[in-house]
Structure 1
Amino acid sequence: MNDTATGATEKDYSATLFLPETDFPMRAGLPAREPVWLQRWEDMDIYGLQREQAKDRPLFTLHDGPPYANGNIHIGHALNKTLKDMVSRSMQMLGHNAAYIPGWDCHGLPIEWKIEEQYRAKGKDKNEVPVVEFRQECRTFAEQWVDIQREEFKRLGVLGEWDNPYLTMSFDAEAQIARELMKVSMSGQLYRGSKPVMWSVVERTALAEAEIEYQEYESDAIWVKFPVASARLEDMGRFVGASVVIWTTTPWTIPGNRAISFSSRIGYSLYEVTEAPEENWAKVGDKLIIADKLATEVFAKAKVAGFEKRTAVSADELASITCFHPLHGLAGGYMFGVPLLDGEHVTDDAGTGFVHTAPGHGLDDFGIWMESTRLLQEHGIDPAIPYVVGDDGFYTKDAPGFEGARVIDDNGKKGDANQRVITALAEHGNIIARGRLKHQYPHSWRSKKPVIFRNTPQWFVYMDKPIGAAGPQATSPLGVRSTLAQQGAGEGALSSLPDTLRNRALRAIDQTRFYPASGQNRLRAMIADRPDWVLSRQRAWGVPITVFVHKATGEILRDETVNHRIAQSFEEEGADAWYKEGAAERYLGAEYKADDYEMIRDVLDVWFDSGSTHSFVLRNKQKWPHLKFPASMYLEGSDQHRGWFHSSLLESCATNGYAPYDSVLTHGFTMDGEGRKMSKSLGNVVAPQEIIKQYGADILRLWVASSDYSEDLRLGKEIIQTTVDSYRKLRNTLRWLLGNLAHFRSEDVVDAKDMPELERLMLHRLAQLDAGVRAAYKEYDYRRVVTLLSNFMNIELSAFYFDIRKDALYCDPISSIKRRSALTVLDHLFNALTAWLAPILVFTMEECWLERHPGEGESVHLRLFPEIPTTWLDDELAGKWQLIRAVRRVVTGALEIERREKRIGSSLEAAPKVFVADARYVVALEGQDLAEIAITSAVELRQDEGPAEAFRLDDVPGISVVPALAQGQRCARSWKVLPDVGSDPEYPDVSARDAQALRERAAAGL
């Protein structure tokens, strides 16, 4: 029975307990407190202190992929910059000198477009403004947004050289970008050619693949007859009156048609229409050549009621055919023959098995046309590619009968070109069906308007011409795709291939580490398949293509003296120098006549700008002495496999021969809580500024670290709240640590070998965690770091170790080895946890660390991860305590029922009977204070199976518990129910242990 005295007034002993004492608040108040830490770091120059402290350590350089300076940051920016900060901070604490130089991409169409919008709003004409004046307005616009974004990034807790960032529009950067371009030119890799590029009519410029996004679009689809004009003599009888049928979703490209592609791998036949409605385009008696697999579908689209197969048509027969253009004779044009060419790109998955080939409007079309140049010439066919559509989307004179019709207007809307072409085809009797098709179609990621493939003169970098090779082009402009490259050949195989840009890049990919590893195959596939690199843009705000072309010969001027003059002027005046009066004469000097040369006015694609950053950031030791080249890492979103990762690889391989990075880390995109893409129209955009305002940046950082960034990340109200709850648990654990460490003195330190088993178990776990946390940080696996530490702090500390040791820490005598050992362990825990969490919870760990170390110049971010002794590892002890904890779980499970049934109020009122049938548990429990471990006042341990009604857990066989009440009186200080309460006459209402504690406190004057 419980003999606890009732009715007596107990003395309040709370002042005699070592209760937690701390000013570290339970409520974080992050939105208000975080700016205080930011100001403190700025005042003490924490970044500069790091550099000085780490000056002799190995360099780790994460090179910042530059965000675009034209708007407030969004959640994708926050994710990206936070990950970069975690990488730099963790590598710094792992013992590196991890300098971080932020940068901005400042040139290009989006900024130019904004200035043009301002002009239009004022009724101002851009073409009437001097180009240098216009460029200055673009520069000012970019400068404003750099300042705004800088503050937004700093508010995230991102540590870097914010007062000395890199800008692609700074004079030294523009000069170096020009130098890199001129290096490419001097090596023979740069050429001016004509080929189809993705063209934005709205923005009047060529676009790179990285500037394209695909959206659903409804296109006109037509099935068109190309009447056979000639064939081999022996075949002509069968093909008289026959037509080859093509299918296209771009009717406007028909005026640019110059060939039809087929495949020798596909079966074709000549079919005849036997039954069709009178009003049909396809008439009875029409003889049509179609792929066998698609014939039924084609005739269904043409509303043909009956048809018959007349004869198979072989590949040789097809190759001998020349067709009339379906617009033959329109406005006196289209009088040429249309040959049939065997192409690998042709399939019978859709359409007719024939591909209408307009070499000015598609890469495959262009490729087969260029590969067939000699064959075309042998048959008297002019291989010249017409310029059917101008930069404004209007047909040119090369489209007889349609000049003035428009494909796309200035607003990105369909013009009248499609309908004009369809009407003309119908009038010529050469259309058999039409329809509409919804499909994914390329759009500019800036204007969000559809683009077109259009043949234009542009500047390119060869992918497959041997670098440095002299003389004429070594390959066709499209480039030769190596079989080894397509198959993903290893470094050994690639080393024996020609020294081309493609092979250099593929070799570099093989030598690069990717996180996740799948990024390697993705980038490799893109490099293996890509066409020559288009560098030119027809805009004003950017680094000009700094080359001169001889007007008579078309040769590029390659002269290092001229190149030096150009670069030097850019260093002094910026790229604006190219546009100033007399620039050509200044650069060409007395050696050349300016009138003999064309000074190129196109600007470089901004991907070349950002792809060149390694040359003016990583290699600029005078400006940034703590960086290395190649960079240790490039880190961006998964779209940058076709963007910055891609262009930086090509640019560095072109000028250096190898990649500008040792490793590449890729993260996914941020979706809403339901996995949908964030968009203003859906109203599901989560702004980082709002999260910071309501919860603080550390909550945002914890969400980033807790997520699997290798995939798309989700973010919504519920996810934020879950993150807040996780943060609160971590904070409360640290607060409890701080509160108890208020009583820790240097003389309390106990050596590990002299500690009780429970403390040695915690040190073992610290040593295990040290290895796990370090490994996770080295692999950039922040989710693993958070999981390891959250589980440890919530489950092993708060719910186990702290729970058990509260009594000893609060109540034990000052001299208690158990209490002193626990305090020593808490000190080790604090030192490790604050360091391990510092790269993630940058503000909270600073606050936590300064609570114990408030001195000027102190910061958790000037620490390294602590060296945890491996001698603390004790697997045997851990195995033993795994059994003990299993017993504890059965006891606490039994007592939980007792509390729920209100038979006890606290576990300290209990003295359960624990039955142990398994000898392993008997050995493990030998010498242990199971009552202390289970947080009861006593335990009766029996080596027995236990009665049938005893409490058991299925996953802990051999252990059973029968609850019972503790015997004795309740200690007024510790609240344990013990028989020895009152045994010390000086302290009649407390246990003997608590009496000794009170005696020692009195002796110490406490």
Structure 2
Amino acid sequence: MTDSADNKIDYSKTLNLPQTDFPMRAGLPKKEPEIIERWNEMNLYKSLREDAKGREKFVLHDGPPYANGNLHIGHALNKTLKDVITRSFQMRGYDSNYVPGWDCHGLPIEWKIEEQYRGKGKNKDEVPINEFRQECRDFAAHWVGVQSEEFLRLGITGDFENPYLTMNFDSEAIIAGELMKFAKSGQLYRGSKPIMWSVVEQTALAEAEIEYEMYESDTVWVKFPIVQGPDHLKGASIVIWTTTPWTMPANRCVCYSKKVSYGLYEVTVAENEFGPQPGDRSIFADSLVGECAEKAKVEVKRVGDVSVDDLKGMILDHPLKGMGVDGYQFKVPMLHGDHVTEDAGTGFVHTAPGHGRDDFENWVAKRAEIEALGIDSSIPFCVADDGTYTDDAPGFPGVKVIDEKGKKGKANQAVITALIGQNNLFARGRVKHEYPHSWRSKKPIIFRNTPQWFVYMDKDGVCEKGTLRNTALAAIEETRFVPALGKNRLRGMIEGRPDWVLSRQRAWGVPISVFRNEETGQVIPGPEFDKSDELSQRIVEAFKKEGADAWYAEGAKERFLDGIVDNQEQWTKVNDILDVWFDSGSTHAFCLEQREDLKWPADLYLEGSDQHRGWFHSSLLESSGTRGRAPYDAVLTHGFVMAEDGTKMSKSKGNVVTPQEVISQSGADILRLWVASSDYSEDLRLGKTILQTNIDSYRKLRNTLRWMLGTLSHDEGEEVALADMPELERLMLHRIWELDKLVNSNYDSFDFKRITRSLLDFMVLELSAFYFDVRKDALYCDGPSSVRRKAALQVVGHLFDRLVTWMAPILPFTMEETWLSRYPDAKSVHFEQFRSCPDEWRDDALAAKWKKVRQVRRVVTGALEIERREKRIGSSLEAAPVVYINNDELNTAINGLDMEEICITSDIEINVGTAPDGAFTLDDVAGVAVVPQLAKGEKCARSWRVTTDVGADPEFPEVSARDAKVLQELKLLGKL
């Protein structure tokens, strides 16, 4: 065939141009559901489990989300991270099984059912408890189903057909069994302590259920008249400061510090209607008296010293004594307290042991000292469940501290009025400060003394390391934390936490399945009860068959105690339920230990950083108390998702981003790419601009994959030995070897940002903009026998297999589509293992050499870019630059290389020496300069290179000699 006017060749058909059906536009919102349907048809999860049988297990144990609404962006972040981890270990030789779970008990669900009742005019108290519990169960089951579908749409692979639920009968049975282990070991007790109480929700709360919001409190400075002390202090008062005036009826002592300097001060000038008057004497910390006097609108002078010995043994009158009711005639002692500081207030601390943790602990620790003074050391119950004063607050019964809607009652004002009446109000005001609120109701809570069920933190001889606290602290030291600062955070919380309060006064949950003897206080099952195991087993078996509802069924007490105790009338069945954190803290027991496809302990727990006080915390305590160690080997934490400007997402601000919205508009893989490319160890940001950045990155990535697929359509599988490969191909194999180490080590360290950034940069900057760009001429134009072309195809194949599998955990939909485009008979990319990279691919010397070669290339391409911009050339193939190199290292590096191929020019001239004035240079590449020139000759109709040998073969007069030779080869093979 000749290249004549009558029989003109279509040279494009002689080129090996990329051919693929893989679309440039992803269309992820439509494509991803199709892939999910395919996965469902093949039961991908089950098939993966069968494929991984016999491998070493890697278990990431799922922290249970709450089953009460659609997923938010935090869920998407959390579950995507988990999915990336489990997939990455699955594709690296492990049996990496992910079992999702849900928290199903607790107040939020109970509250929703109560709202439905109120809407229908029903009274919860008139509904049989197990009927009410069933409605809670149905509500939770509905949202488990909804969230499962949303997680699956996100691309999460796991056992969604058989998840763990805290409300499953087996789960409830084991949770109760775990509680009874604490009871049998003597760690469980019923006590009276100040706990955080929600009046709105009518239940005790744990620290993990608290959030701090700004709140305006009444604040008062209160005088306690001295009735027993040194003569020079008679007639004076001790002054305290508090932001909770309503706790004054519960005051039982005032604390001082041995480290604070105190003085006796006398009022000289007063400008107030109610408060101290000239001549009044009070004691203050010297460092704080000025601020206190200013608040009271008085002037004072120091009239005497007050020593620690003066304060020790001092007795005060209660400031409400004499208000016309009995009840405040008791003595108020002065006690030393390590918690007293001079950071704010007066230097003295009002102590109401029924309303504060420090107050309680100091009071209890000093009980012997208090009783030696002839003072009753019992702690009053001044506030009832509904937030009203009890009879233990004489003069105020029925007055509300907080009402059922979470609003301030009249208690503060009632107390302040009474203090004024007794002339014991020094000053008053208001202060805005952070105050604990329930994270559910968003309403302020109170601290109140109430009987609850606790687990000892410091009882010796009941745990592996003596006490629960010591055992948990030892477990922390054996745990890997990512990031490492998580260890200090969790350790600090365990070191300082009080006894673990377990009880909640609600209906929907696992009961505290013990009985209490009202006469002796004995609890069964218990350490000294010989039938504890029999009773525990009876309760567990009933819960397995009927769920925890068995505890509330008619005749439950008789059923469980029959034959266990002689006199059932002496025993009370406890009807409090367990804190839901105990439920979730027990997931390791009813999930990890019960499933053969998992293992205990877990390799990893992963949740948000708030779970140092939540799931990580409760799991650690539960497992340490029952098994002597943590249920995990490692803990990974992530931050929270903020709006693009760094503020909190809020519906009122209109800056909320939902996963459903992102998925419907852009696809789940875009959301997953954002997760993987972000530094999740800190708070993350998300908004339209950030999403668009990820969309742009995804587009570049996809185009690179598409080009590889198109190019590999011409791959016939011919291999070239490493020694016979051109340097450029060996350089790429070295880079693959380096990336293999980076990818695997960073999947191990959970640094997905580094993996994603490294692979994206490699694909865009090293492949698309360099290697593929250089090799397009050889891949498109070289003939079938070309070793250079065969080697390039072989390397592109290596690149494809590794890049797609490396990125499959991050972008499971896109990599599945890409893999099946290359290997249509494959089941799924997710069955593949990361390809190994032979050490013989490593060539550090070659990489160092080509780093220098690319420096030279960068100066050349920089010069040609200006020529294009000024429209002096259309493409680099129209150029034949003259390069001046005045650098021995760079000159040695390029020696023997085809620089016109590397720089994608039609010709190039390399000169050693100094460049003429005006030559193009780059500041960061010393010793290289370029003078652009046009290439001489004609443009080849096939390769578009400008050469002087176009027409050298008269049979193909429009092409260069190289291209004519290829055409002759194609003609000989019958392909032309």
Is TM more than 0.5 here?
Answer: yes
**Distance in 2 between residues matched to 1:944 and 1:9, nearest whole Å:** 50
**Distance in 2 between residues matched to 1:176 and 1:672, nearest whole Å:** 41
2:932 is the alignment partner of 1:963: yes
| Aligned partners of 1:201 and 1:391 also within 8 Å | yes
- Partner-residue secondary structure (3-state), 1:700: helix
1:878 equivalent in structure 2: 847
Shift of 1:1001: 2.2
Shift of 1:595: 1.1
**Distance in 2 between residues matched to 1:900 and 1:11, nearest whole Å:** 33
- Partner-residue secondary structure (3-state), 1:271: strand
2:533 equivalent in structure 1: 560
Q: Deviations over 1:520-544 (max 9, x none)?
A: 0000000000000000000000000
Q: What is the 5 A alignment of 1:774-793?
A: 774-793=744-763
2:600 is the alignment partner of 1:629: yes
Shift of 1:1004: 2.8
Would the alpha carbon gap of residues 975 and 311 (structure 1) be closer, same or farther in structure 2, given more than 3 Å must change? same
**Distance in 2 between residues matched to 1:49 and 1:673, nearest whole Å:** 40
Q: Deviations over 1:677-715 (max 9, x none)?
A: 112222211110000000000000000000000000000
**Distance in 1 between residues matched to 2:678 and 2:446, nearest whole Å:** 39
**Distance in 2 between residues matched to 1:843 and 1:430, nearest whole Å:** 72
1:393 equivalent in structure 2: 387
Q: What is the 5 A alignment of 1:408-487?
A: 408-468=402-462
Shift of 1:278: 6.1
1:110 equivalent in structure 2: 108
Identify which of 499, 506, 510 aligns with 1:532: 499
Identify which of 381, 397, 402 aligns with 2:396: 402
**Distance in 1 between residues matched to 2:837 and 2:355, nearest whole Å:** 65
Would the alpha carbon gap of residues 159 and 565 (structure 1) be closer, same or farther in structure 2, given more than 3 Å must change? same
Shift of 1:626: 2.1
Identify which of 319, 323, 336 aligns with 1:326: 319
2:862 is the alignment partner of 1:862: no
2:89 equivalent in structure 1: 91
2:667 is the alignment partner of 1:667: no
1:799 equivalent in structure 2: 769
2:266 is the alignment partner of 1:272: yes
- Partner-residue secondary structure (3-state), 2:921: coil
2:16 equivalent in structure 1: 18
- Partner-residue secondary structure (3-state), 1:957: strand
**Distance in 2 between residues matched to 1:520 and 1:536, nearest whole Å:** 28
- Partner-residue secondary structure (3-state), 2:288: helix
Would the alpha carbon gap of residues 519 and 9 (structure 1) be closer, same or farther in structure 2, given more than 3 Å must change? farther
Shift of 1:241: 1.2
Identify which of 698, 703, 712 aligns with 2:683: 712
**Distance in 2 between residues matched to 1:591 and 1:791, nearest whole Å:** 70
User: What is the one-letter code of the residue matched to 1:634?
Assistant: Y
Shift of 1:8: 14
Identify which of 975, 982, 986 aligns with 2:951: 982
**Distance in 2 between residues matched to 1:455 and 1:938, nearest whole Å:** 89
2:478 is the alignment partner of 1:517: no
**Distance in 1 between residues matched to 2:615 and 2:700, nearest whole Å:** 39
- Partner-residue secondary structure (3-state), 1:191: strand
- Partner-residue secondary structure (3-state), 1:958: strand
1:890 equivalent in structure 2: 859
Shift of 1:985: 1.2
2:585 equivalent in structure 1: 611
**Distance in 2 between residues matched to 1:182 and 1:740, nearest whole Å:** 66
Aligned-residue RMSD, C-alpha: 1.3
2:555 equivalent in structure 1: 582
Shift of 1:905: 1.2
Would the alpha carbon gap of residues 686 and 278 (structure 1) be closer, same or farther in structure 2, given more than 3 Å must change? closer
User: What is the one-letter code of the residue matched to 1:1004?
Assistant: L
Shift of 1:1002: 2.6
Shift of 1:788: 0.9
2:790 equivalent in structure 1: 820
Shift of 1:872: 0.3
**TM-score normalised by length of structure 2:** 0.98
Shift of 1:827: 0.2
Would the alpha carbon gap of residues 976 and 828 (structure 1) be closer, same or farther in structure 2, given more than 3 Å must change? same
**Distance in 2 between residues matched to 1:316 and 1:618, nearest whole Å:** 59
Q: Deviations over 1:721-779 (max 9, x none)?
A: 00100111111100000010000012x22122211000000000000000011111010
Percent of aligned positions that are identical: 62
**Distance in 2 between residues matched to 1:430 and 1:968, nearest whole Å:** 106
User: What is the one-letter code of the residue matched to 1:957?
Assistant: A
- Partner-residue secondary structure (3-state), 1:455: strand
Q: How many residues align?
A: 963
**Distance in 2 between residues matched to 1:33 and 1:278, nearest whole Å:** 76
1:749 equivalent in structure 2: 719
Shift of 1:1005: 3.1
Shift of 1:312: 1.3
**Distance in 2 between residues matched to 1:868 and 1:527, nearest whole Å:** 45
Shift of 1:431: 0.3
**Distance in 2 between residues matched to 1:323 and 1:609, nearest whole Å:** 47
Shift of 1:11: 5.5
Identify which of 925, 948, 972 aligns with 1:1003: 972
**TM-score normalised by length of structure 1:** 0.95
- Partner-residue secondary structure (3-state), 1:776: helix
**Distance in 2 between residues matched to 1:539 and 1:258, nearest whole Å:** 31
Q: Deviations over 1:436-495 (max 9, x none)?
A: 1000000000000000000000000000001439xxxxxxxxxxxxxxxxxxxxxxxxx9
- Partner-residue secondary structure (3-state), 1:935: coil
Identify which of 537, 544, 551 aligns with 1:571: 544
2:193 is the alignment partner of 1:195: yes
- Partner-residue secondary structure (3-state), 1:590: coil
- Partner-residue secondary structure (3-state), 1:119: helix
Gaps spanning 5+ residues in structure 2: where?
526-531
2:214 is the alignment partner of 1:241: no
| Aligned partners of 2:274 and 2:425 also within 8 Å | no
- Partner-residue secondary structure (3-state), 1:408: coil
User: What is the one-letter code of the residue matched to 1:50?
Assistant: L
User: What is the one-letter code of the residue matched to 1:666?
Assistant: T
| Aligned partners of 1:463 and 1:502 also within 8 Å | yes
2:895 is the alignment partner of 1:926: yes
**Distance in 2 between residues matched to 1:762 and 1:531, nearest whole Å:** 59
2:529 equivalent in structure 1: none
Q: What is the 5 A alignment of 1:167-206?
A: 167-206=165-204
**Distance in 2 between residues matched to 1:742 and 1:182, nearest whole Å:** 65
Q: Deviations over 1:406-457 (max 9, x none)?
A: 0000110000000000011001100011111000000000000000000000
1:473 equivalent in structure 2: none
| Aligned partners of 2:267 and 2:279 also within 8 Å | yes
1:725 equivalent in structure 2: 696
**Distance in 1 between residues matched to 2:260 and 2:468, nearest whole Å:** 35
Shift of 1:879: 0.9
**Distance in 1 between residues matched to 2:7 and 2:764, nearest whole Å:** 37
Would the alpha carbon gap of residues 797 and 8 (structure 1) be closer, same or farther in structure 2, given more than 3 Å must change? farther
Identify which of 856, 866, 879 aligns with 1:910: 879
2:135 equivalent in structure 1: 137
Gaps spanning 5+ residues in structure 1: where?
1-6, 470-494
2:146 equivalent in structure 1: 148
Shift of 1:1003: 2.8
2:205 is the alignment partner of 1:207: yes
Identify which of 164, 168, 176 aligns with 1:166: 164
**Distance in 2 between residues matched to 1:523 and 1:91, nearest whole Å:** 27
**Distance in 2 between residues matched to 1:300 and 1:329, nearest whole Å:** 28
2:963 is the alignment partner of 1:994: yes
| Aligned partners of 1:187 and 1:467 also within 8 Å | no
Q: Deviations over 1:94-117 (max 9, x none)?
A: 211110000000000000000011
Identify which of 21, 30, 33 aligns with 2:31: 33
Which ranges of 4 or more aligned residues in structure 1 deviate by more than 4 Å? 7-11
Would the alpha carbon gap of residues 221 and 9 (structure 1) be closer, same or farther in structure 2, given more than 3 Å must change? farther
Shift of 1:280: 4.6
**Distance in 2 between residues matched to 1:83 and 1:768, nearest whole Å:** 24
Moved more, 134-143 or 35-44: 35-44
User: What is the one-letter code of the residue matched to 2:699?
Assistant: R
